[in-house]
Structure 1
Amino acid sequence: MSSAYPRSFSHIGISVPDVNKAVEFYTEVMGWYLIMPPTEIEEDTSAIGAMCTDVFGAGWGGFKIAHLSTGDRIGVEIFQFNNQQNPEDNFEYWKTGIFHFCVQDPNVEELAEKIVAAGGKKRMAEPRYYYPGEKPYRMIYMEDPFGNILEIYSHSYELVYSAGAYG
């Protein structure tokens, strides 16, 4: 018998070139709550400094971080690292790692347009239906203004995939 049980999702960390602009985007366009405004973290012997050295190794220097929360209480950490670089292509989906995150909004099209108006872009021309003519479940891939890939679902993950195979 397995002792595994479903863990809850706590938060995700997103790197951006400008934490203040990212906070503005994610609060105004996505409607997320600002929990902790942008704060400077320095490489030192404080508890948070030691934790970061454990993760990043010595010599990371410092960064800015802000904490937000989605409508369903998932945390979002926004990082602006001192040595931040914009990748040539931030959509290397074939490489190991997280290549997108997904939000849910019943009006996929309206949110997509808000993202574009705020400096983001569509990765697809229009939303696509999972079950055309059968169910209203649709999605679209986007980029935030900083190049991070996000997807928008019209319905919950469980509803979209409980309908069966892609067919």
Structure 2
Amino acid sequence: ERTLAAGWQALSLPLIPANPALPAVLDSIAGSYDSVLWYDNSVQPGRWRRFAPGDASSDLPALHQLIGVWLHMTGPATLTVAGVAPPPVTVIPLQPGWNQIGYPSTLTQDVAALLSALTGGYDQARVWDNDLGRWLYFAPGDGASTLTHFRPGDAIWIHATRAGQVTIVN
């Protein structure tokens, strides 16, 4: 369960939804949102995919635990999604450039520790903090980084310098 304010909210699902299809996965907030956006970097160049209720041109068919999204709320609502806990290990592929991924974990984890196992390469990770209304970032070796932990429900942006994968242990 997650309380969402009006405006743009960044989020992911920390569990595997029973029904990931859009709009079913967002039934609990039906009428309180008008757009879901995901940056798909699996095709090059990367492109935005979108779902809007009732819009036949929508090209984002599902919201699952591997992706992070921007959700535009037209009013406050509480999101409730039925599902099961993620497996003990989840591997998410990364392509060069920016990747908008989910955080399929029910645990809060240290950013540096989690990203130390990332294969390929990266130079930055970011999370939009909905409560603070600003970006938090982590860059290896940067003592001024503001992102220290990934939390359940975070939508993570990782800038990969080459193809690889991130492994999330639950």
TM-score, normalised by the number of residues in structure 1 = 0.28
Higher strand share: 2
Instruction: Specify which structure has the bigger relative contact order, considering alpha-carbon pairs within 8 angstroms and separated by 6 or more residues.
Output: 2
Q: Which has the larger radius of gyration?
A: 1
